[in-house]
Structure 1
Amino acid sequence: MNKTLRLILSIGILTLFLAQTGFSQSIEKFVDSTIKVDSLNVPTDLNQPYFPKEMFPEVSTDWIKKNDSSYTIKTKTIKGTYDEFVVDWYSKHLHAMKEPLLFNRKIDKEIYRFTWLRTFDKPMTFRFEKRNDRYILYWKVLNGTGGYEPGEIEIERLKILTEKEWTEFIQLIGKADFWNMDLGRSSIGNDGSEWIMEGVNKTDYRVVSVWSPSKGNFYNSCDYLISLTNFKMSEKKKY
């Protein structure tokens, strides 16, 4: 095989790999030992963002008029930008929950965290961790509102779960194609809710945000975490 052919083949393989994996999300590029944290990896600086800026580019919006005179919003991420407003908003609630950072250090376990910010309802977070053959779900509820001030921790619980429950969740995350979802906020609207999912393991980290999903694989993966708790919640509140 000559050099030219080998080069073309190598480029083709690299292109296919990037298409399958999406944005480079190696934990190596985000690890930062200078971030000040406590013994639980909770930042001691209230201004510390909870997400790497590369994960939240700004999003442009276009209002598109439909045949029935209603409008739909089309979004597009703007490369090389950073949505500081959104990151500060999300981070403020995670700070109030005293949640650990997930991107700043290497870990020996796998974690998924769903942060649920409903405009007029209590902020919640659900953190599912796997370490060896141990599976734990942690959840917290604040007494504020997701679209305004977070308030303080009202509920803090944990539950030991099974390998079967972990596997069911991982299958849902796989169907949602979480590790290849678009960065930034996939859609934007007035009020509603922000569904923020983070994932981290020994090699990778990713975070995505979806506005007010009501169905689909991403919705199902988040809703499954809610179902594993003892919350009694009407379907109307799952917005």
Structure 2
Amino acid sequence: MALRRLGMESTASYVIIGGLGGAGFVTVLLALIGAGLHIEVLSIATFSGAVTGYMWEHSRPGGERIAQIAIGIGRHAVTPRRVSRAEIATPRWPPTTIPAGEIRIPPVAFVMTLCVMALTMIVAAGAEGLFDWLPRQDYFPPHYRTTRVQCLAERRVEATEPTLIVDDIEAEWYQKFWRAAQEPSLYLASRTSPKTTLTYRFTWLRTFHQPVIVRVDETADGGWRLRAKQLSGHGGYSPGGVQKVVDRRLSDAEAAKLRLTMSASRVFEQPQIGCQEGTDGSRWLLEANDHGRYRYLNRWTPESGSVRETGLIMLGFTGWTFERVY
């Protein structure tokens, strides 16, 4: 009606306004649920809004028959009357009263639009990893949140006072990425799986790049199974959804390299956390279900050391190339 009053009424104007409205509506809803805005989702929202605008413009008496035929609901709509352009034309100014009931939107048009909007929300939520099929589980032993340990001094950073192995904020932050990747708790596995189980998992959270999680499981025949996932988000922000996956058996040479690295470096015999901290950088998390014992290491942007060496080896197993390694 506003377009008609302003003398800007045309199919193009309705389509443009509808598209902008659909994009804005979905953008606000995605912000409310904490999901990021992807170009695919924005395109669907804009298209559905544009279709709504088109249907609105063609639902006037002069175009009502076309709309009925287009969406196949002629038997449900009000029988149109023949109206000339001169009859429906409205002066730009002053505004005139719009007869009540002149604009009729078929109900199915609203239903179709709402369905498209709902599908858009589902796609966006899935892309952000908001669909979580894992049961609720603890990713860290309860005593990790109350036990203080001495950190490992690195890069001329002096040792500080004993620090919690993991605080509540960290625990919630890390498990958000594991759950987005549908990665199970190795701590829980260490308590419930057979004592013969051996699993290593490396989690790489770079502030401005996609999170990567690499897990290797020892198989019953002595081999190793690689399962790696790259998420679509950023390590310093939201995790996003699973973007790339590698699931394969390690070659004999790769398996031997992994065993040699783990045994030679004795990586899990060092302090669990490093003293180095920062804002923009990366987290290198190394975990293990070591025959029923949960192990955990956390380093901030390591430039050397066994955690970095092990992480690079496990990243190499994926076959992926990375823009920046830090």
Fold agreement, TM-score > 0.5: yes
Bigger strand fraction: 1
1:96 paired residue number: 180
State how far apart, in whole Å, the 1-side matches of 2:144 and 2:257 are: 27
Greater RCO (Cα-Cα under 8 Å, separation 6 or more): 1
Q: Deviations over 1:79-125 (max 9, x none)?
A: 6x751111111111001000011121223421100001111111110
The unaligned stretches of length 5 or more in structure 2 are 1-132
**One-letter amino acid of the counterpart of residue 267, structure 2:** F
Per the alignment, residue 109 of structure 1 pairs with 197
2:16 match: none
> Quick one: distance in 1 between partners of 2:162 and 2:193?
28
Q: CA separation of 1:124/1:136 partners in 2, compared to 1, >3 Å: closer, same or farther?
A: same
- Measure the CA separation in 1 of the matches of 2:229 and 2:313: 16
- Please say if residues 122 and 145 of structure 1, whose CA atoms lie closer than 8 Å, have aligned partners that are also in contact: yes
The higher radius of gyration belongs to 2
| Cα RMSD, aligned residues only | 2.5
Aligned-pair identity in percent equals: 27
CA drift of 1:221 comes to 1.0
What letter corresponds to residue 203 of structure 1 in structure 2? G
Tell me which residue corresponds to 2:219: 131
Map of 2:209 onto structure 1: 121
1:211 to 300, 303, 310: 300
Report deviation, 1:58. Answer: 5.9
Amino acid at match of 1:93: F
- Tell me the TM-score normalized by structure 1: 0.68
Distance 2:218 2:286 in 1: 16
Structure 1 regions of 5+ residues with no counterpart?
A: 1-41, 62-70
Q: How many pairs does the alignment contain?
A: 184
Q: Are residues 1:83 and 2:170 paired?
A: no
- Give the distance between the partners of 2:240 and 2:309, measured in 1 at CA: 28
In 1: Cα distance, 2:266 partner to 2:161 partner = 19
TM-score, length-scaled by structure 2: 0.51
Tell whether the 8 Å contact from 1:55 to 1:207 is kept in structure 2 after alignment: no
State the alpha-carbon separation in 1 of the partners of residues 215 and 261 from structure 2.
15
Q: Map residues 13-92 of structure 1 onto 2, 5 A cutoff.
A: 43-45=134-136, 48-55=137-144, 57=147, 72=157, 74-78=159-163, 83-92=167-176
Deviation string for 1:18-42 (max 9, x for gaps)?
xxxxxxxxxxxxxxxxxxxxxxxx7
Question: Which amino acid is 1:205 matched to?
Answer: Y
Q: Is contact 1:192-1:212 (8 Å) kept?
A: yes
